[in-house]
Amino acid sequence: MNYRTILLFGAPGAGKGTQGKILGTIPGFFHCACGEVFRSLKADSEVGRIFIEYSSRGELVPDRPTVKLWHHFIESCTKTGRFHPEQDTLVLDGIPRSVHQAEMLQDTLNVAAIFYLSCKRPDALVERIQRRALKENRLDDAKLETIRQRLQTYEKETRPVLDFYDQALVHHIDAGQKPVEVLFDILRQVVKI
Ligand code: ADP
């Protein structure tokens, strides 16, 4: 199966989840946030334990269990009728997060556009993540040291993913704007594709 896909790309705290959730409410779009899939696992399951181990250090979960879990999730959403691959565009947030993941998903994803939510002020990302920690119960959002590690992991392992794809697909979006302005910039492109 090959899924028509929009990728939301950017550092932790850039607003991928906020935008993804909104896009996922539009008929014909299905939002999947990889971090949410991990957080929905039972803490005492095998992958749940791996997730807690890596995410609490601000590191990426290894590629194989990540991609396997993702496939499993998408297949179960298809079976239960939440996702209709023939009609829906998949809005992916948080995957692929390494070049190896992008390679592993190359035959599965038919990428129609990539929205690169970039923020010029790293401090703003840290502030957003800390604010979010108060609202959502996230171990990886709580400690400043872990947040810094996640931003470093992003620079080292995730940012190179952008170069993996055809640059004509990449739309640069200023993530420092208000959420409604970010949404407006994304939708302006989405209606064209
Ligand atoms: P954020 O974008 O704020 O870092 P996410 O909810 O997307 O938050 O991810 C939380 C954590 O889950 C990551 O720090 C990482 O440990 C793990 N994770 C999520 N997606 C992936 C992925 N595609 N590959 C590896 N680890 C992942």
User: Is the minimum distance from the CB of 34 to ligand 1 under 6 angstroms?
Assistant: yes
Quick one: pLDDT at residue 147? Answer: 92
In order of 11, 90, 94, 96, 188, the CA distances from 154 in angstroms are 6, 22, 11, 12, 27
Q: Across residues 121-130, what is the average pLDDT? A: 87
- The pTM for the full model equals 0.94
* CA atoms in the 13 A half-sphere facing the CB of 171: 21
Q: How far is the CA of 51 from the centre of ligand 1 (A)?
A: 9
Residue with tokens 């872990």: 146
- Is residue 105 in contact with ligand 1, taking CB distance under 6 Å? no
Arithmetic mean of pLDDT, 138-167: 91
Tell how far the Cα of 10 is from the centroid of ligand 1, in angstroms: 12
**pLDDT in the model for residue 183:** 98
* pLDDT at residue 141, as a whole number: 79
- The average pLDDT across 164-186 equals 97
Residue nearest to atom 16 of ligand 1 (CA): 55
Task: Specify the residue with its C-alpha closest to ligand 1, atom 23.
Answer: 95
